Amino acid sequence: MSAAHADDPASPIPPDPELIDRPAEGRHRVVIVGGGFGGLEAARALADAPVEVVLVDRRNHHLFQPLLYQVATAGLAPASIAAPIRGILNRQSNTRTILAEVTAVHPERRCLALHDARDSTLAYDSLILAAGGCTTWFGHDDWRALAPGLKSIDDAIEIRRRVLLAFEQAEREPDPEVRQALLTFVVVGAGPTGVEMAGALRELARFVLARDFRRIHPEATRVILLEGGERVLPAFSPALSESAVDQLGDLGVEVRTGAMVTAIEPDGVLLDDDTRIPARTVVWAAGVRASPLAEQLGAETDRMGRVVVDDRCRVGGRDDLFAIGDMARFEQDGDPLPGVSPVAMQQGRYVARRIVERLAGDEPGPFRYRDKGSMATIGRSRAIAERGRFELSGLMAWLAWLVVHLYFLIGFRNRLVVLLNWAWGYITYQRGSRLITGDRLVAGGPTAPEADARPMDEAR
């Protein structure tokens, strides 16, 4: 990605006018960067508006990230939680999609530099930045190859490969210490992704793979969840955090809070108290940073790289430049909104409505997020859910989690496939996506190219 300042005259702008994609004469063009939850919702909200909509993403599909951990643990196939963006928007006659990577934003010139087959420039009248976030290893980029994050389908497939290969190697490993290290899985970070990943890994070992092998016993498999803070799922109430720990314990997950990772090595994890955990498979779920595009806008950013927006989701008070979702810091009642999909979706609808109303001569009011609650699944019939003072845990929370996630999946086919997979897995304790891909037949090693370090993936 170009590190050039947004308004640096030296920033690359193709001099050839034919390489500048301009709006049709008399049409107001809205460019949306990112086809995740926020960007897609904004595009849908503009379906009948008198504007030209252009959605740019470096991937051709919308990804339902909350279920990525199930791809990583062989519960679902990647196609079950993704849908082609063109297919989603093909009925919107005022909308087109561009497959490209945005390398620079030029607010004063109202254009974007694209990296595609033509390396062209895209002009806009209004710009909605919904490029999401990427995994951060807090300055330890050398950990990236040893502890992949979970932000893309590539990441999920790579984690699945490592997990399944660890069992394959353990089946034939004569050294008991090495075998135990192969059967030890460490998840770093106890937010929703980390908790869901740890629970799913333990279920995979305990109920699914144990029947596929002859020398491996489920009690030999360890799943360790590490959290540097005082409790897991800190965004939830203390009572629900405690319930989550109890439910993880019932599954056999070892939870360690106040455990700061100081080193990740090919054969283990070192903690700040000098404890060393021998493990060959580590999953990183500890940090998210805003898309690098946020730093190109010349506006204030926070420690997570999110660009600060006002109460109308505007960057720098500009009526032609908006940032939403995980790449924006929006404060409500003195606190920043969380990086979850409902925030991005509501902001996407609001910004789309604001653009249309301003074109009609109206001045919309400020954005106000309506919190519909939070939930996290822990395993089979185990979950927690919270909405205001209303709290659920256990089976009822799990059922609510199933309904909500099925509802928000894109496309009837995906909903049906996921529902059937879940039903089959619940009845039979089987998972049908236990495929090892790639040429390397050893666990660990460098991860697949990290799409989540690039700007177009929408964070959850």
User: Which pLDDT tens digit goes with each residue over 144-176?
Assistant: 999 999 999 999 999 999 999 999 999 999 999
Residues 115 and 38 reside in one and the same domain: yes
118, two tokens: 């033509």
Report yes or no: 326 and 339 within 8 Å, Cβ to Cβ: yes
Residues belonging to the chain: 460
In this structure, are 328 and 295 located in the same domain? yes
Bridge pairing between strands 184-188 and 61-63: unpaired
Tell me the catalytic residues: 196
Same domain membership, residue 325 and residue 275: no
Instruction: Note whether residue 335 is domain-resident.
Output: yes
**Contact assessment for residue 403 and residue 66, using Cβ atoms and an 8 Å cutoff:** no
Nearest to 286 by CA among 136, 100, 391: 136
Q: With 90 as the cut, is the pLDDT of residue 363 above it?
A: no
Residues 114 and 37 in one domain: yes
Residues 350 and 412 in one domain: no
Q: What mean pLDDT is predicted for residues 22-46?
A: 94
> Does 11 score more than 60 pLDDT?
no
Q: Which residues contact 380 (CB under 8 A, 6 or more apart)?
A: 203, 207, 398, 426
> Residue 442: which pLDDT band, with cuts at 50, 70 and 90?
low
Residue 444 — very low, low, confident or very high, per pLDDT cuts 50/70/90? low
Q: In which band, very low, low, confident or very high, does the pLDDT at 14 lie, cut at 50, 70 and 90? A: low
Whole-angstrom CA distances from 303 to 128, 294, 311, 317, 452 are: 22, 12, 20, 21, 18
* Whether residues 35 and 170 fall in one domain: no
Q: Is the domain of 168 the same as that of 317?
A: no
CA-wise closest residue to 226 among 264, 176, 169, 179: 264
Picking from 330, 359, 388, the residue at the C-terminal end of a domain is: 359
Q: State whether 182 and 318 are in the same domain.
A: no
Predicted pLDDT at 18: 62
Angle between helices 395-408 and 412-428 (to 10 degrees): 150
Are residues 147 and 240 both part of a single domain? yes
Instruction: Tell the burial category of 240 from Cβ atoms under 10 Å away from its Cβ (0-12, 13-18, 19+).
Output: buried
User: Over the stretch 58-98, which tens digit does the pLDDT of each residue have?
Assistant: 999 999 999 999 999 999 999 999 999 999 999 999 999 99
pLDDT, residue 413, reads 86
Mean pLDDT along residues 106-118 = 89
**What local confidence, expressed as pLDDT, does residue 459 receive?**
38
On whether both 321 and 239 belong to a single domain, the answer is no
Domain region containing 336: 17-135+289-359
pTM for the model: 0.88
- How far is residue 238's CA from residue 232's CA, in Å, rounded to a whole number? 9
**What per-residue confidence (pLDDT) applies to 16?**
59
Residues 6+ apart with CB under 8 A from 416: none
Query: Per the structure, how many domains does the chain have?
Result: 2
pLDDT in tens, 415-435: 999 998 888 888 777 777 788
Task: Flag whether 456 is in a domain.
Answer: no
Nearest by Cα to 221 from 269, 268, 186: 186
Answer yes or no: is 422 within a domain.
yes
Percent of the chain with pLDDT over 90: 75
Lookup result for tokens 């209303």: 390
Answer whether residue 70 is part of any domain: yes
Whether residues 151 and 201 fall in one domain: yes
Cβ proximity of 121 and 21 under 8 Å = yes
Residues near 198 by Cβ (< 8 Å), separated by ≥ 6?
A: 187, 190, 223, 224, 225, 248, 253
Nearest to 213 by CA among 279, 166, 259: 166
